[in-house]
Chain A
């Protein structure tokens, strides 16, 4: 097992990040959709649908940050300075939206400000995550194992594309979540928004899929050289199929399928980016193995993680089961 510790840790952190993106993605998405309704009662209904879950979802972000420090200190030490501004703006946006979410339900006269803060914080956090993702795909400038670029290296057109793409993706997750968890006008509007967002997200996925191989020869070679292409072509094919199933379910009044189709799209996009980057953790300079912590450190932490993680996962399943079903208008957890 000791030989594969870096890969085990890469997989664990990969799972934590995927869980974060999906779980926090839908509640950030609900925030992103906040400005597109005019009724406060509807906003309350939207907020109620995520109230029991949002802060638990966010804790996966801690595991991402701390896990990277524990298992891949070198990668952590390159990524954090390279994306200094987007990381800190993202964290502050998350703090702000989290608190805005709770305060909006308490406030009387200032509710409109907290609504704005919640929507803006959610959108900004999603955008920053897209920017960081873009930077990770292209790779920061590294010399002697340390970040060697400037403070605004991350600000590229591709980063803007990915930032908007992630915002659209989260909005899609949020809309399909609302289709599943609400009723009435909120669910109807979410269904219309979901269809539009599905097309927008597909356009972004296509743009990223074209841009990355054109801009980065390493990625072009990964996907379009033989025999790789024989093994990899099912990924875009499955993506198209999942998108079609999601679309059809939205058309035909499906309530659960659209949400899971959106999750599927996210996971496929994530898988595609992972294939583009592997074996690099910080492409194109540092691999998973080069940045790994000492085996003794990875092992020491792995023991605790393998023991505690199932408990945390079990608890999450329990919470989602406890709050299954729909939120009706005028009824809520608050």
Chain B
């Protein structure tokens, strides 16, 4: 059998990074949620807020640990799979990635330690400060990684000498044209992701008739976030799209399955893009809709896929469908947020069982939306790994396809076992609820490193059966 090393290297990297992104997109928002709970607890003194903060800190710990573990792999995989990319962009991207690692490293070594094991040793206000710093620190980590990714989409502030990128202006590199949009879009996405998980857990408790006080608080905070952020995300996403149209028009053409640039773009609701025939099959669309959104004029023109030869186009099918999944989920989030707000206003948020049930099923939506969004932006960038500078096919390491295929299989097996166990423990923790050892401080002499404190709570959860 003949393997394509480029495809395999991409598959392997996509697998490990998709696994990794699940955890940060949860922990960034969760750390902010915990900090908010603690601030509210400091201000009101209501004990259930304290219980909730402790409970979610345990879940945060195990998620953060899995994020770190899967992140270590990535810091080596850039070299194992993309050595030519490392050479060409190392001068520019190296420091951005380095700062990301330092930020995460620094956090784990300092404030997270205080947050996890400090409950009996330091005063509450210091714990609250540590939680705030963890929330800021995870956001800083995201800042650097998104700066690096945005530079790959819209490179700026560099010069090319003998095909190697050299930094000229660090501010221009960091704040490259797509960075502000991508950063806002991603941060809103991760806060929405966490809100949905919190909403689902709160709804689950209310449906089961236990932990009512905690469940109500979680529902109220999550509905508030969703009602605010989900509509805002629609606006930010739209602005991000306009920015992409300016810098990466072919990505937009793939997202909209827009082939012919000489006609206005239709808003394609469903279709099967046929890349060989360069048309959409089974198309259901609103004529002029895409032009209206992107150009604010139903008759305006924008570049179609046919404006570049086929080798310059991204794969249309994954980009097109991933975009529709992301937007579809975004609309569901808006519905959940606004309906929840309406019920809250009517005083029926905790009684409407149909809403509680829908909410309790919605925990996975954010994760799928985030991964879909990444498929859109990363696949949409193809055939480039760094837009206009380096093609993905030229970026790979001199490693035979069979080696990559073999290690890919190993990754699937090991990650499958390890992360299945981790998610199983998180689920047990959530089932056990904010009580017992899940919220107790560690025993005397314990240092709550992320995984060990999770272990502690998991033992409790298991003991309950």
Contacts and interface: CB of A to CB of B under 8 A. Distances in A.
Interface of A: 51-52, 55-56, 58-59, 61-63, 65-71, 73-74, 76-81, 84-85, 87-89, 91-92, 94-96, 98-99, 102-103, 105-106, 108, 145-148, 150-151, 293-294, 296-297, 300-301, 304-305, 308, 311-312, 315-316, 319, 322-323, 333-334
Interface stretch (B52-60, B77-85, B363-371): B77-85
B411 interface: yes
Interface residues of B, number: 67
Contacts of B91: 73, 293-294, 296-297
A254 B370 CA distance: 56
Contact of B167 (A58, A297, A323): A297
B258 interface: no
A95 B462 contact: no
A84 B397 contact: yes
10 contacts: A73-B86, A76-B83, A80-B86, A85-B403, A89-B410, A92-B73, A102-B454, A293-B90, A296-B167, A304-B102
Nearest to B105: A59
B248 interface: no
Nearest to A69: B94
Nearest to B99: A304
Interface stretch (B106-114, B200-208, B305-313, B326-334): B106-114
Nearest to B90: A73
A30 to B, nearest CB: 15
Given A105-B459, A334-B452, A92 B72 contact: no
B458 A106 contact: yes
Residue of B97, B102, B414, B451 ringed by the most chain A CB atoms within 10 A? B102
Contact of A66 (B68, B98, B459, B462): B98
Contacts of B68: 55, 59
Pick the 4 closest A-B CB pairs, nearest first: A73-B90, A80-B79, A81-B397, A77-B83
Contacts of B459: 105-106
Nearest to A333: B446
A308 B103 CA distance: 9
Given A98-B69, A151-B400, A319-B447, A76 B102 contact: no
Interface string B3-41: 000000000000000000000000000000000000000
- A contact patch SS: helix
B160 interface: no
Contact of A58 (B72, B106, B113, B425): B72
A146 B86 CA distance: 11
Contacts of A106: 425, 455, 458-459, 462
A312 B95 contact: no
B398 interface: yes
A199 B399 CA distance: 39
B109 A56 contact: yes
- B contact patch SS: helix
B434 interface: no
B87 A103 contact: no
Given A61-B72, A81-B398, A315-B110, 14 more contacts: A52-B446, A52-B449, A52-B452, A55-B451, A59-B68, A94-B72, A95-B70, A105-B455, A106-B425, A146-B83, A297-B91, A319-B113, A323-B447, A333-B443
A31 B445 CA distance: 22
B271 interface: no
Contacts of A94: 72
Given A65-B72, A297-B92, A77 B87 contact: yes
Contact of A76 (B71, B79, B99, B170): B79
Contact of A300 (B84, B170, B399, B407): B170
B358 interface: no
A146 B395 CA distance: 12
Contacts of A148: 398
Contact of A102 (B403, B406, B455): B455
A311 B446 CA distance: 22
Contact of A77 (B79, B411, B452): B79
B421 interface: yes
A312 B98 CA distance: 15
Contact of B450 (A55, A66, A87, A145): A55
B37 to A, nearest CB: 25
A305 B102 contact: yes
B402 to A, nearest CB: 8
B76 interface: yes
Interface in B189-229: none
B94 A92 contact: no
Contacts of B75: 62, 65-66, 69
Contacts of A55: 65, 68, 449-451
Nearest to B86: A77
A80 B397 contact: yes
Contacts of A145: 87
Contacts of B249: none
A308 B106 contact: yes
Nearest to A79: B79
B84 A333 contact: no
B71 to A, nearest CB: 8
A188 B65 CA distance: 34
Contacts of B72: 58, 61-62, 65, 91, 94-95
Contact of A91 (B73, B97, B166, B445): B73
Contacts of B99: 301, 304
A73 B87 contact: yes
Contacts of A311: 106, 109-110
Contacts of B414: 92, 95-96
Given A59-B105, A293-B90, A69 B452 contact: no
B452 A51 contact: yes
A73 B110 CA distance: 29
Contacts of A81: 79-80, 83, 397-399
A312 B399 CA distance: 36
A10 to B, nearest CB: 15
B407 A102 contact: no
B109 A315 contact: yes
